[in-house]
Copies of this chain bind each other. A is one copy, B any other.
């Protein structure tokens, strides 16, 4: 049966114009190449060369060379593609994160990733946690980074990092005058702008604060806008502030370090990630680890 290595051998001989040089480029002895060539000619039932000094092809030889070279090129390309993909040199990864991660961690991930894996296509989207869950489940995204509630059927999730909540206020606000962690009691007298992130804080004092709150917003930009206008203060994770805050805002950490947003890294439970995706996931963990260390 015709084998690709046989074609490669023939093409080498045809290119070199003699058997010995071809054998050298193939890393074989001339006798091995000779036998291989003979086998090919026997298989085809026709000679490929005019003389046994292999410097002139028959019509069949020319035909075979033409097709063999095309085939070899195609084959080598395929092999490179497969091996490259397996080694995560090529490939594509679709990733969806919450906006604060997209604006803080991901740029650093990319900075570490590029150069070494230039051929990997990465598609990054920032959407809300709930949509991320759905996108991952629908297989429209390979990796998700989100805060998850309980809906985790069919999902593989792992805690990536936690992000401590803190208080945001305008620079003119009394709380901005001081420094250091803030106790819950300090906030009891403040007007709190509730938001979907801060609502998830389990601590009892926080619950009370939220119940008392008369203002709730979902969009981070509008929350910050209100804070800037001194309409009230809000509770947000530090990452969010790093991503969207400005000089016109003051962030002070909470004393209660249990008030944290949990960010999980998600993928479908029933499918393995592509090598490139796994590589990127690893890089995300590395990056988060090194950022955490610096803080």
Asked if A85 is at the interface (CB within 8 A of a chain B CB), the reply is yes
Given A78-B71, A270-B50, A272-B50, decide whether A60 and B86 contact each other with a Cβ distance below 8 A: yes
How far, in angstroms, from A13 to B45 measured CA to CA in the complex?
Answer: 33
Q: Is A292 engaged at the interface, CB distance under 8 Å to the other chain? A: no
A residues lining the B interface (CB < 8 Å): 2-5, 44-47, 50, 56, 58-60, 63-64, 67-68, 70-71, 74-75, 78-79, 81-83, 85-87, 91, 270-275, 277
A289 to B4, CA, bound (A): 43
Once the chains are docked, how many angstroms separate the CA of A44 from the CA of B272? 15
Q: Is the CB of A274 within 8 A of B60?
A: yes
Tell me if B82 and A78 are in contact (CB < 8 A): no
> Which one of A59, A83, A270 has the highest number of Cβ atoms from chain B below 10 Å of its Cβ?
A59
Docked-complex contact B58 and A85, CB < 8 angstroms: no
Residues of B within 8 A of A273 (CB): 59
Minimum CB–CB distance for A104 against chain B, Å: 28
Distance in angstroms between the alpha carbons of A3 and B275 in the assembled complex: 22
- Give the chain B neighbours of A63 by CB distance below 8 A: 82, 85, 91, 274
- A-side interface mostly: helix
6 closest A-B pairs by CB: A59-B274, A44-B86, A58-B272, A71-B78, A2-B79, A4-B4
- Which B residues lie within 8 Å of A79 (CB)? 2
Some 8 contacts from A to B, beta carbons below 8 A apart, are A2-B79, A4-B4, A46-B275, A47-B272, A56-B270, A63-B82, A63-B85, A71-B74
What's the least CB distance linking A110 to chain B, in Å?
21
What's the Cα separation between A90 and B60 when bound, in Å?
11
Q: Are A59 and B2 in contact (CB under 8 A)?
A: no
Q: How far is the CA of A60 from the CA of B59 in the complex (A)?
A: 42
Complex partner residue of A59 from B75, B78, B83, B272, CB under 8 angstroms = B272
Candidates B4, B5, B45; contact of A75 at CB < 8 Å = B4
In angstroms, how far is the closest chain B Cβ from the Cβ of A49?
9
In the assembled complex, the Cα of A257 lies from the Cα of B75 at a distance in Å of 63
CB contact under 8 A between A82 and B2, given known A74-B74, A275-B60? yes
A274: chain B residues within 8 A (beta carbon): 58-60, 63
From A63, A79, A82, A274, residue with most partner B Cβ within 10 Å: A82
